[in-house]
Amino acid sequence: MPVDETLKQRLHDKSAPVTFKKAMGLMASTTLGVGAMMGAGLYVLVGIASAQAGPGLPIAYGICGMLTFLSVIMFADLSRRLPISGGGYAYAYNQLGSFWGFMVGWHLAVGSVFACALYAHGFATYSASFLPARYVSDGLYKVIAGFLVLTFIVMSMRAGKGGDRVQRIFTWGNLAVLVILAAVSVPLISGDNYVPVFPRGVGGVGAAISLIYISFFGYQLIANSAEEIKDAQRTVPRAMGISMGIALFFYVIVAVVAVGAVNWKELATSDAPLVLLASKAVGPWGAWLIGAGGILASAAALNSTLSSQGRQIFAMGRDRLLPGLLGSVRGKSGAPAAALLAGAGATIVVILLADLEFIAKAANFALLFSMLPISVALHRLYRSEEEAGGVRLPLWRKAVPWAAMVANASLLLTLDWQSMMFGGMIVGVGCAVFLSYSHASEKRGRAGFSVDLAAREGHSLNFLKKGERILVPMANPDTLESLFSLSRALLPPDGGEVVALRVVKTTQGKSPREALLSTAGTADALEATEMANQLANVKGFNVRPVVRAANDLADGIIHASIEERVRMIIMGWSSAPGAGPSKLVEKIATKVRNDLVFLQLTHDVTPKRIGVALGGQGNLPLMVKVAMTIAEDFQGEVTYLNVVPEQFEMEHLAHSRQIQMAAIERHTSLVPFNTELLRSDNPLDVLVKRSADLDMLVVGTSESTYMDDAIGAFSAMIAEQAKCSVVIVRRGTTTVLK
């Protein structure tokens, strides 16, 4: 059968790895880092931090910056060796595996959300400073901050069209404002304002550091965007070092001027401390100038962090540690729209619910905690290099990861007990998400990769659509029409669709994506897809073709059933004569708890006479439904068969009557039905004999276990010996074994 070229192209396009255009050079990368660092950390936190450190504020910024420089060196080394998007998450995932990769990514994502909320709050605060005091309220701050987040997300989803230019204006315009502020404020500096240096003791400096660490977070955002940076191995480390140096210089200079020109107690009471400084220096127009600078700085930091946050969430989604939807990109723009929206939504929730000081401390805990495993990742990378190349690294270089770990652990210990408790909650929730979802999802992602070949788009949220889904693995073209007929009959009247799955086995040394990009490996799959589309058009119901590459056929079906959130799997029965069901059937029946329907087709048949072999209560609802809906679809009739011993006793008869009445109660269709009581000491023989007068016989699987013998010997022998087509039914639960 000739395959539609459009279908081939669709498979190729959806199998190809997502790549980003390398459009950022050294200047753009440095702008990204500086923009992220020179925001609310200066314009908002100067006041809050001065309440703790007093005139010692410049010392707090200097110590925090120097300690953070160790992490910059660590990230620079990692980025030279691993020039991949995702930053710290990608480094940890690459070197430490899925758990620590997830934990680093989880904390970086949480930290970025709180950081974005801080920057948005800073923008709102300085924007409101232009309004009359009677209009300013906490509610207004939240509205302005939320609106800004949504505005930047729309820009980012347009793949940065106009966003880069805006970012440059915001970032370097802000630095120009700070230079002017420092220059005009120098005449106000008084030595008395620096005394005492530590009004709250040395501990006050530590408390200030616990607040301002987020000010230096932006260097990591450069590493997050490595796949978009030209010559990333050279550019990323240089951009991180330059942006960190610029930020540290401006932080210390502005802090020196601020606490020297304005008493620290007065700074601590101001929501916009640099506006206060400018007002004292040059009057009202200075306040307007610094208000504009605060707006530019906060907007630049927010824009940088939102964009970079989206790239990291995208990387985790691509690796399946977060839902696969977050690892997708928007068609024409190529932007990770779902990841950007997820980050923006979480940021808006934090803006609405949390206060400023809590936001800063929560961000600092999450970001500092994420640094600890990254130190181990760099150490492991150094060790693997030495083992592979036989080259001994200098001791100072091997000391970098441990020095960075000590620095970040020291910064972490400056947080108060409330921040540590909330941090413990973040760690606990992260572990729960990994164990309940991410671990199994990531394993499925490594084992296989699916491509939706439907002509229409928008299936990422299929599980939210009304109607049910039935999975039909397409292995044997000869049985496909019968499987589709059975699936169509079992689709509910309120809608639904059949997921027609073809599994392509991967070859040794090839990834699942590479297997789907191979013409030889997918030719049969495309032919099966074409056949499925044609049958769907003829039979008039919704079919969504999916091709999945997997190492193992059974695993491919099992994992697809989980990802597609199907209610039922309908597939052909396969067995070896006298040996029972195949390993494929047994593995699927053992591993999944969906409803299962296996079709043993003796010949092409229109089932008019349908028998149901009644047994226990477990599979009865599904058996009746299958028989009833098939009879409705083919205008047939149903006969419910009950077997009792030749010398039956009253309890046998009572049990048979109970099962029979339960079947009749569930027979809600208008199709005719009969009941038969068969007397035999050998139920297998009598049902096989009775099958000669039927077109189809419905039997249930073993009800005793889902483990090794999930089908049951009796059902398997019926399938092998019956004189008509057989449908083997196993009623499942909503839980899937991982």
Q: What are 483-531's pLDDT values in tens digits?
A: 888 888 888 776 788 898 988 888 776 778 777 777 666 777 777 788 8
Instruction: Name, in order, each residue with C-beta under 8 angstroms of 85's C-beta and a sequence gap of 6 or more.
Output: 20, 224, 225, 226, 227, 228, 311, 312, 314, 315
- Is the pLDDT at 569 greater than 90? The verdict is yes
> Quick one: pLDDT at residue 9?
75
Average pLDDT for 658-680: 89
> Quick one: pLDDT at residue 41?
67
CA-wise closest residue to 34 among 189, 171, 212: 171
| Distance between start and end Cα atoms, the chain | 38
> Quick one: pLDDT at residue 652?
74
135 confidence band (pLDDT: 50, 70, 90)? confident
- Is the pLDDT at 736 greater than 50? The verdict is no
Identify the helix (H) or strand (E) that includes residue 547: strand 543-550
What digits encode the pLDDT tens for the residues 218-269?
A: 888 888 778 788 888 889 899 999 999 999 999 999 999 999 999 998 888 8
Q: Do domains 23-327+355-413 and 598-738 have the same CATH topology?
A: no
Which of 154-158, 389-393, 664-668 has the lowest average pLDDT? 389-393
Average pLDDT for 358-385: 88
3-state helix, strand, coil in the chain (%, to 5): 65, 10, 25
3-class DSSP assignment, residue 132: coil
> What φ, ψ does residue 494 adopt, rounded to 5°?
-85, 10
Which of 175-184, 415-424, 576-585, 656-665 has the lowest average pLDDT? 576-585
The fold for domain 23-327+355-413 equals Amino acid/polyamine transporter I (1.20.1740)
458 confidence band (pLDDT: 50, 70, 90)? very low
- Is the pLDDT at 288 greater than 90? The verdict is no
- Is the pLDDT at 162 greater than 70? The verdict is no
Average pLDDT for 713-735: 83
- Is the pLDDT at 277 greater than 60? The verdict is yes
3-class DSSP assignment, residue 576: strand
The token duo for 669 is: 């269709």
Percentage of the residues of the chain whose pLDDT score is greater than 90: 20
Tell me the CATH class for 416-572: alpha beta
Structural domain spans, the chain? 23-327+355-413, 416-572, 598-738
Domain 598-738 superfamily per CATH: HUPs (3.40.50.620)
Q: How many CB atoms lie within 10 A of CB 46?
A: 28
Q: What is the mean pLDDT of the chain?
A: 83
In the chain, the amino acid numbered 39 is G
> Quick one: pLDDT at residue 484?
84
- Peptide bond connecting 672 to the previous residue in cis, omega within 30 degrees of 0: no
Q: Packing angle between helix 87-96 and helix 356-389, nearest 10 degrees? A: 40
Of 115 and 707, the one with more pLDDT: 115
